[in-house]
Structure 1
Amino acid sequence: MYKLLTHTDLDGVSCAVLAKLAWGENVDVTFCHNPADVTQYLLKKYNEKVWLEYGMIYVTDLSFDADILIDCKIYKDILRLFDHHGTAVEPFRPYFKWATVEVEKDGRLTCGTELFYQYLLKKGLVGNRDFFVEQVRLFDTWDWYKGRSNLPKYLSNIVLKLGLQYFLRTFTERLRSRDVNELNVFNQYERDILLYDEDREKKDVGSFLKQTYICDVESEDICPDETQFKVGIVFNSSFYSSVLGNDMCRDLGVDIAFMVNLNRGRVEVRTAREDIDIGSLMQTFYAGGGHRKAAGGVLDITEYVIKKCLGRIGSVKKIEQVK
């Protein structure tokens, strides 16, 4: 039995599709929101001795705290990592015998799905699925934005609208015997969803652009040669954070775009500048990580908001969420 820990986006679930194609029902998939989730899982299962159930544990499209390997030495024999985020390169440099961490491959940006696919392909566990894998890569690296086809973005929208389990189940079956192409990648039901969603996206993004706050920020931590920045921040729960962030940078002229989801305690950040490393900022200040131009982190301000709200009428002694 194999275990796969993977991310909750198109790149992550596509790794799960490949794992199902390779091992069928002999692989158990768990979706993780961030590296902290993976770290917590590995520590918990180590203490419970559950790792003994698996011949190999694969982590794709996100990493974990490499320091746990110091205490949990057994994992070095059954762990394989496939990640493409720049923030994971240095922590896993000592473990490159089993940790594949590459930001670029063959002169272009890569993704977790492509790295995992090439591993499975080399072992003869999957057949040619080049077209599908390339669409995932195009979306996750944002290279699709430079081209003429929206197909990569539509794949991501199917994940957002119909869910991880739908995508995993449907595309595992669709890719079981052969690769997909532009004509058969979606069925009629999915095309109808995408058509409706395209109009919804334009309205959502346009609305949130009008709700953006533009802030002048002074900082010595963002860029080595500059201290004054224009930052856009919007409070949103939209599915379209990637599109929204890029439009904020392009249309509002901000150096950095912050999209805060208060319900999830998450922040997504984008930049169009080459000299700003968003991934490093998220790793240092927001317990997150990612790429130079696109990253995310944790921003749980629930307790602060509660105290700020109720503090006007009294002193908050205890905060407890309904189970």
Structure 2
Amino acid sequence: MYHLYTHNDLDGVSCGILAKCAFGEKVEIRYNSIGGLNDQVARYLERPKKKSSLIITDLSVNEQNERGLDAYYRAGGKVLLLDHHKTALHLNEYPWGKVQVEYENGKLASATSLLYEHFIQQRLLKPTKALDDYVELVRLYDTWEWEKAGRVEAKRLNDLFFMVSMEEFEETMLERLEDDDQPFAFSDFEDKILNIEEERIERYVRRKKRELVQTYIHDRCVGIVHAESYHSELGHELGRDNPHLDYIAILNVGGKKMSLRTIHDHIDVSEIAARFGGGGHSKASGCSMGEEVYRLYVSETFTMEPVRPDAFKNKYNLKDSPFGTLYENRKEQQIFIFSSDKEWEVDVDDQECSERFSTFAQAERFVKRRFSAWLVRDEAYVHYLMEQRSDKRSRALVLV
């Protein structure tokens, strides 16, 4: 008998689907949250089952279970842990641990792709077109490579996963993957409900964009929003719209969880999550909401006003404009970015900043991070320019 303990997200549940394809009724699967795995493993080690194999995927264990699993393995027990999070790399020191973050070709690994390869190598599964396609979609979504690869169906697969029950998703995918020769595809009905879901997600994200607050936490410029749903979509959209932010923190106070997302290669949110006892990927991680997380991200930011989004229907106040670009913030400061001698300068309420920038993007990043400012509408921009022209004319008359 096989026992599979895995995560309860798309990547983890897909490991369960592969295990059922390989073992049929000879596998018992338990889907766990990040915090629930260790209790599950501890119970297994207390009463190890004879002639059984334990497989753990997409999650890692604490130090106590690490020692327990090693003792169990050395006593003749069969155990395999497969993971792809860099916070679990130390488990490669054990013969039962295999942690791989990325492949030799530079592609990032997922638990599903690692387990699929393991089953093929052990001749427990034969590769098929349907399985190949499905495993790749899961890998693309879980590693956030789907957008770069132009594979929106990977995101739609995750949307479908959250739209139906875990049992229904598992049953549907098992039936579809039995068709060896056909590539993996959604049914017509699934396509229709996924289109409806995409519209719902767009409305939800659009509303949450207006609730984003900005602050500095541990020297990082952070965007914070409270949301219970669609964390990946929300994190992606907010990060893309606000590239000056180092990362996005999505808070679910009811669920006592925090999700972290970034679009930047130089920011590793798994390190930030690890500071609070969590973990994950470099661009997508999470942790439980303990006292310190609550204080830093909820309590100390609760009274902050949201940062307004940039005006998006402008014809005159445009970014990188040769006539200059105007921003404002909650303190009603007016920040003007303009080009001078092949450099970009910044004026704050007509006071020149000492900083100089070689590109407009650098200047705007400085303005947004330092002043929490947004691009104003054309009306305010034209009024500002008229005032500047009037002031210059007045000063000229005084000099005369």
- Check whether TM > 0.5: yes
Is 1:146 the counterpart of 2:148? The answer is yes
Summarize the Cα distance change of 1:180–1:89 in structure 2 as closer, same or farther, 3 Å threshold: farther
Summarize the Cα distance change of 1:263–1:180 in structure 2 as closer, same or farther, 3 Å threshold: farther
Output aligned runs, 1:273-284, within 5 Å.
Answer: 273-284=264-275
**Aligned equivalents of 1:205, 1:275: Cα separation in 2:** 25
**Aligned equivalents of 1:46, 1:98: Cα separation in 2:** 15
TM-score for both structures, normalised by structure 1: 0.83
Number of the residue aligned with 2:223: 232
Number of the residue aligned with 2:60: 63
- C-alpha displacement of 1:53: 5.2
Summarize the Cα distance change of 1:179–1:159 in structure 2 as closer, same or farther, 3 Å threshold: farther
- C-alpha displacement of 1:54: 5.8
Number of the residue aligned with 2:98: 100
Summarize the Cα distance change of 1:54–1:142 in structure 2 as closer, same or farther, 3 Å threshold: farther
Amino acid aligned to 2:45: Y
- C-alpha displacement of 1:45: 2.7
- Give ranges in structure 1 of 5+ residues lacking alignment: 220-226, 309-323
- C-alpha displacement of 1:261: 0.9
Number of the residue aligned with 2:254: 263
- C-alpha displacement of 1:276: 2.2
- Report which of the two structures shows the higher radius of gyration computed on alpha carbons: 2
**Aligned equivalents of 2:7, 2:55: Cα separation in 1:** 12
- C-alpha displacement of 1:147: 2.6
- C-alpha displacement of 1:216: 2.7
Amino acid aligned to 2:285: A
Summarize the Cα distance change of 1:163–1:179 in structure 2 as closer, same or farther, 3 Å threshold: farther
Which structure has more relative contact order (CA 8 Å, sep 6+)? It is 1
Secondary structure at the residue paired with 1:67?
A: helix
CA deviation string 1:87-138 (max 9, x = no partner): 1112x1321x221100001321110000000000111111212111111111
Secondary structure at the residue paired with 1:276?
A: coil
Number of the residue aligned with 1:191: 191
Is 1:272 the counterpart of 2:297? The answer is no
- 8 Å CA contact 2:249–2:261 kept in 1: the answer is yes
Number of the residue aligned with 2:207: 207
Output aligned runs, 1:45-194, within 5 Å.
Answer: 45-47=44-46, 49=47, 51-52=48-49, 55-71=52-68, 73-75=71-73, 77-90=77-90, 92-95=91-94, 97-106=95-104, 107-128=106-127, 129-178=131-180, 180-181=182-183, 185-194=185-194
- 8 Å CA contact 1:265–1:299 kept in 2: the answer is yes
Matched length: 286
Secondary structure at the residue paired with 1:52?
A: coil
Report the aligned-residue RMSD: 1.9
Secondary structure at the residue paired with 2:49?
A: helix
Structure 1 residue ranges (4+ consecutive) displaced by more than 3 angstroms after TM superposition: none
Identity %: 33
Amino acid aligned to 1:161: M
